[in-house]
């Protein structure tokens, strides 16, 4: 999500399709973003979920959030090696 943005034209376009994401077993989600408002336009897809994605500026904070939910996560170094 770090560089993911949508121009306003995408949301104003008449050529859209409804999507439904099945997240019934999911308990959380962490996003690494450049600002606390990045990805705001995607929040409507979480209206019927039991959680809202949490946004973090630092990878370590995102991992800590997932671990606090009781999830096991790869180490900071492993994740960094994958995304670089």
> Under a CB-based contact definition with an 8 Å cutoff, are residues 71 and 30 in contact?
no
Q: Which residues have CB under 8 Å from 22's CB, separation 6+?
A: none
pLDDT beyond 60 at 34: yes
The CA distance from 63 to 18, in Å, is: 31
pLDDT beyond 90 at 64: yes
Three-state DSSP at 42 gives helix
The CA distance from 45 to 30, in Å, is: 15
State the pLDDT at residue 1: 46
Of the pLDDT bands very low, low, confident and very high (cuts 50, 70, 90), residue 75 is: confident
**What is the CB neighbour count within 10 angstroms for residue 25?**
5
pTM of the complete model beyond 0.85: no
Which residue would you say has higher pLDDT here, 20 or 35?
35
Mean of the per-residue pLDDT values for the chain?
81
Percentage, residues of the chain above pLDDT 90: 25
């Amino acid at each position: 999500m770090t560089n993911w943005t949508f121009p306003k034209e995408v949301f104003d376009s008449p050529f859209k399709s409804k999507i439904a994401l099945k997240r019934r077993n999911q308990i959380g989600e962490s996003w690494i973003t450049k600002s606390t408002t990045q990805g705001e336009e995607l929040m409507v897809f979480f209206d019927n979920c039991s959680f809202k994605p949490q946004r973090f500026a630092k990878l370590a904070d995102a991992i800590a959030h997932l671990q606090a939910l009781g999830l096991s996560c790869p180490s900071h170094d492993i994740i960094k090696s994958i995304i670089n």
